[in-house]
């Protein structure tokens, strides 16, 4: 199952997992926006289930996990749902903005994983994948809530890997770089406004740090998630896998 599977990285992950033979449940706050993901999967002969879920809300996540069980045993959970949060100096960020970012990007991972862990322990297998970010490893101007949340995800993943390893469950994070699409376009606009630079200069701050001199593609992040879900990754746990076009190498 994939949270935030209605667009961008989440949709690409869901489609990639379906192509590997998984029946895929996809969630978002508004189930109507999941139609394109489900259509894409079913058009290729796959099985998909769309469910509304707000990962910030414990009851919503619990209900979603119960409904996902209708597809059968859950093998892989990708906690992808997230928001960019505010772009501003720390002293200008409101507490409500800070809390909303951490509630979505960090608490959402906690609640999502917690809902599926008991059944995975019972079955003695499973793969949990959290979408962190290269910003969880390096600074990004004006993005303190997002950076704090994404670094927290890495700590959660490493500790949970230790807890769940004896039960045959693997836990990993994927750390994308700047992924081409509407979301990074908005981030670039906000970076330019906050730093007093042009949007071209803000874009070059991402691409110029990459040995490949480009943004990341959503399907490249999806491929990493599909790998971590596969039998090829059975000895990989507690890792934070960069998909950053080389911007981060640690």
Helix (H) / strand (E) containing 24 = strand 24-28
Distance of CA 100 to the CA centre of its chain: 16
Q: Which of 22, 113, 116, 146 does the annotation list as catalytic? A: 146
Report residue 212 as tokens: 């490949």
- Judge contact between 3 and 108, C-beta under 8 A: yes
Residue 28's SS3 state is strand
* C-alpha–C-alpha distance, residues 157 and 240, integer Å: 8
* C-alpha–C-alpha distance, residues 196 and 218, integer Å: 29
DSSP for residue 92: G
Residue among 208, 216, 189 at smallest CA distance from 87: 189
Report residue 65 as tokens: 């996990």
146 annotated active-site: yes
| C-alpha distance across the termini of the chain, in Å | 28
Query: Residues near 61 by Cβ (< 8 Å), separated by ≥ 6?
Result: 53, 54, 55, 111, 112, 115
Query: Residues near 21 by Cβ (< 8 Å), separated by ≥ 6?
Result: none
* C-alpha–C-alpha distance, residues 169 and 154, integer Å: 17
Catalytic residues: 146
């Amino acid at each position: 199952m994939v949270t935030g599977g209605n667009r961008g990285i989440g949709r690409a992950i869901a489609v990639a997992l379906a192509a590997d033979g998984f029946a895929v449940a996809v969630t978002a706050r508004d189930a109507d926006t999941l139609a394109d993901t489900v259509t894409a999967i079913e058009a290729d002969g796959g099985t998909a289930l769309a469910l509304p879920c707000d990962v910030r809300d414990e009851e919503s996540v619990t209900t979603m996990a119960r409904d996902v069980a209708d597809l059968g045993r859950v093998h892989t959970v990708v906690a992808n749902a997230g928001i960019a949060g505010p772009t501003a100096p720390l002293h200008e960020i409101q507490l409500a903005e800070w809390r909303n970012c951490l509630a979505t990007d960090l608490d959402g991972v906690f609640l999502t994983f917690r809902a599926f862990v008991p059944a995975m322990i019972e079955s003695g297998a499973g793969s949990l994948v959290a979408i962190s970010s290269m910003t969880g490893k390096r600074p990004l101007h004006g993005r303190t809530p997002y950076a704090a949340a994404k670094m927290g995800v890495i700590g959660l993943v490493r500790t949970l890997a230790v807890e769940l390893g004896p039960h045959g469950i693997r836990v990993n994070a994927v750390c994308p770089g700047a992924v081409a699409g509407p979301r990074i376009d908005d981030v670039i606009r906000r970076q330019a406004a906050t730093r007093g630079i042009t949007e071209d200069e803000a874009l070059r701050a991402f691409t110029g740090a990459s040995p490949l001199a480009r943004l990341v593609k959503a399907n490249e992040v999806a491929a990493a998630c599909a790998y971590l879900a596969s039998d090829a990754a059975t000895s990989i746990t507690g890792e934070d896998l960069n998909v950053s076009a080389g911007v981060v190498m640690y």
